[in-house]
Amino acid sequence: MNTPKQYSFHKFLFALLRPIARFFVFCAYGARVERNSYQIKPPVLVLGNHSCFADAVLMACAFSFPIYIVGATATLQTRLGRLVAKLFGLIPIDKASGDMGAIRRILREIKAGHSVGLYPEGNCTVDGSMLPIEASIGKLAKQVKVPIVLMRTTGGYLSRPKWARTKRKMRVRARVVEVLTPEDCRALSVEALSERIVAGISCDAYQEQEKTLIDYGGKNRADGICRVVSVCPACGCEVRFVEKGNTFACPKCNNVCGLDEYGYLRGGEHQTLCAWCAWEKEHYEQEAEKDRVLGIRGSLFEIDKQKMAVNKGELLVGAGEVGIGARNWLYRDIRGVVLHDINHLLITAKDGCYRFVPDDENANILPILNVLLWRLNRERKEKL
């Protein structure tokens, strides 16, 4: 927990850097925090959707007091990450499993009168759709006994998709949509409160685009798309798409798809990337059911020991176990797996926390993730 002396320093630092940060996110993302009529005073718990890398800065800029952001433990892997975490009071959390230590830290910070910012999705969207939010968010909202501020960011995904290597026209907006008082939280059941929170922060990029139809422009819009899709809807083959400008083609059947200035797909069976990714997820879940073995070459690092890889080789996701080199886990020994960055995996097992990094920076890790999650869910169902 941050001490009173640290909090005083953070108040000074946030006040000093807030105008600079607002100018930076405006230049980099065309991002603005819209004014609201809510009178918000600390301590509060701020909850928001996670649409782009500017979200945390926008959340910090939206208030006149420090917000301690909850972020991935993997952020502490670099010197810069550790420096930022120390300067701004980042609350580290293991994204791949239920991190009760992080929850206790959140409760201690709020009890001390500090404000905390959290993204219940736990990850930045890959395809523009909202990620599932655990119903336990309602339980946390009841536990903190302070106002719950719901923030929604729009335009983040289509301004700069997580997988993209090129910029578009940046038009990101963040605003407070609702403030739930402690009395509001007490009056609702955990389930009803969770639903209220999800409804408040939810933003599907394509549903929003249907209303606004913003031209995001940009050149080489398809550059990087092979990092999120790898099955051709036309021929059903698993391929590495050939990217060229605003189009990408299947090397097997030569079917060409394009990505227009509004973020929609043209020339294929799917109009949006989230529809394509959902279709691919079903494809790989069917492959998982057939006990197919998937593999991808890369390096495995321990979260606490970043400089040297624990193992190098091919990460094999089999029917009964997962392994790379001499390191193998049964599914019952894996507590959680989650995507990090665009194509890294965070794996929490009984023997520690790990980060898998593919050798190919353009590799699509989603097939591995989908198969892993399906088999982990099967393992848990069999235990019941």
Please write the tens of the pLDDT for every residue from 181-198.
Answer: 999 999 999 999 999 999
Does residue 308 surpass a pLDDT of 70? no
Task: Compute the radius of gyration of the chain from its Cα atoms.
Answer: 21
Average pLDDT of the residues in 25-47: 85
Beta-carbon contacts of 160 under 8 Å, excluding residues fewer than 6 positions away, are 29, 52, 53, 167, 168, 170
> Is residue 163 predicted with pLDDT exceeding 90?
yes
Q: Give the pLDDT mean for 207-217.
A: 93
Place of tokens 């968010």: 137
DSSP H helices in 30-149? 55-61, 79-88, 100-111, 136-144
CA distance 269 to 149: 39
Residue tagged 């939810």 (tokens): 202
- Report how far Cα 336 is from the mean position of its chain's Cα atoms: 15
Q: Do residues 379 and 329 lie in contact, with contact meaning Cβ atoms separated by under 8 Å?
A: no
Sequence-distant (6+) residues with CB within 8 A of 114 are: 2, 7, 42, 43, 66, 68
Please report, for the chain, the start and end positions of each structural domain, with discontinuous segments joined by +. 4-212, 225-287, 291-383
pLDDT digits (tens, 9 = 90+) for 82-101: 888 888 999 998 887 777 88
The residues near 60 (Cβ < 8 Å, ≥ 6 apart) are 14, 18, 21, 66, 67, 69, 88, 117
Average pLDDT over residues 158-163: 92
What pLDDT score was predicted for residue 81?
Answer: 79
Please check whether residue 68 is in contact with residue 90, taking contact to mean a CB–CB distance below 8 angstroms: yes
* Reported pTM: 0.90
Which band of pLDDT confidence, cut at 50, 70 and 90, is reported for residue 307?
Answer: low
pLDDT at 285 over 90: yes
- Largest CA-CA distance found in the chain, in angstroms, rounded: 64
Is domain 291-383 classified as CATH 3.60.70.12?
no
Residue 320 pLDDT > 80, yes or no?
yes
Handedness of CA 73, 21, 33, 219 (dihedral sign): negative
Please give the structure tokens belonging to residue 208. Answer: 């929003």
Query: Cα separation of 178 and 200, whole Å?
Result: 7
Listed in order, strand segments (DSSP E) in 303-343 are 311-317, 321-324, 327-330, 334-340
**What number is the average pLDDT over the span 67-96?**
85
CA atoms of 141 and 372, how far apart (whole Å):
30
The rounded distance, in Å, linking the Cα atoms of 305 and 310 is 9
Write out pLDDT tens, residues 350-380.
988 899 999 999 999 999 999 999 999 998 8
Residue among 223, 220, 169, 214 at smallest CA distance from 342: 223
Distance CA 320, CA 371 (A): 12
Q: Is 270 exposed, middle or buried (0-12, 13-18, 19+ CB in 10 A)?
A: middle
Task: Give the pairing of strands 91-93 and 247-249.
Answer: unpaired
Task: Copy the structure tokens of residue 194.
Answer: 């969770």
